[in-house]
Amino acid sequence: MTSKSPVYINNMALINAMGFEHESLLHKLRIGDCSGMKPYDSKLTGHNFLVGKVTQQLPNLPSHLQHHNTRNNRLLLHCLQQLDTTLSDLLNTYSKSRVGVVMGTSTSGIAEGERALSQYMEEESFPDEFDYSQIQMSSPAEFVADYLGLKGPAYSISTACSSSGKVFASAQGMIQNDLCDVVIVGGADSLCDMTLNGFNSLEAVSSELCQPFSTNRCGINIGEGAAIFILSREPSEIELLGTGESSDAHHISAPHPKGDGAAEAMVMALKEAGLNSDSIDYLNLHGTATELNDSMESQAVSRVLGSDTPCSSTKPLTGHTLGAAGATEIGICWLLLQQENSHFLALHQYDGDFDPELPPINLVSEQTAAKPPKIVMSNSFAFGGNNVSVIIGRTQR
Options 68, 78, 256, 320, the catalytic residue: 320
Q: Is 333 a catalytic residue?
A: no
Residue partners of 186: CB distance under 8 A and separation at least 6: 76, 79, 103, 104, 164, 167, 226, 227, 228, 229, 324, 327
Enclosing H/E stretch for 148: helix 139-148
Q: Is 348 a catalytic residue?
A: no
Options 286, 311, 333, 348, the catalytic residue: 286
User: What is the C-alpha to C-alpha distance for residues 192 and 209, in angstroms, rounded to an integer?
Assistant: 19
Q: Is 320 a catalytic residue?
A: yes
Letter for the amino acid at 226?
A
* Number of residues in the chain: 397
Pair type for strands 310-312 and 362-363: parallel
| 360 SS3 class | coil
CA distances from 81 to 12, 54, 317, 334, 352 (A): 11, 16, 24, 19, 39
Options 79, 161, 180, 311, the catalytic residue: 161
- Residue 385 gets the label, from left (phi > 0), alpha (psi -120 to 50) or beta, of left
Enzyme catalytic residues: 161, 286, 320
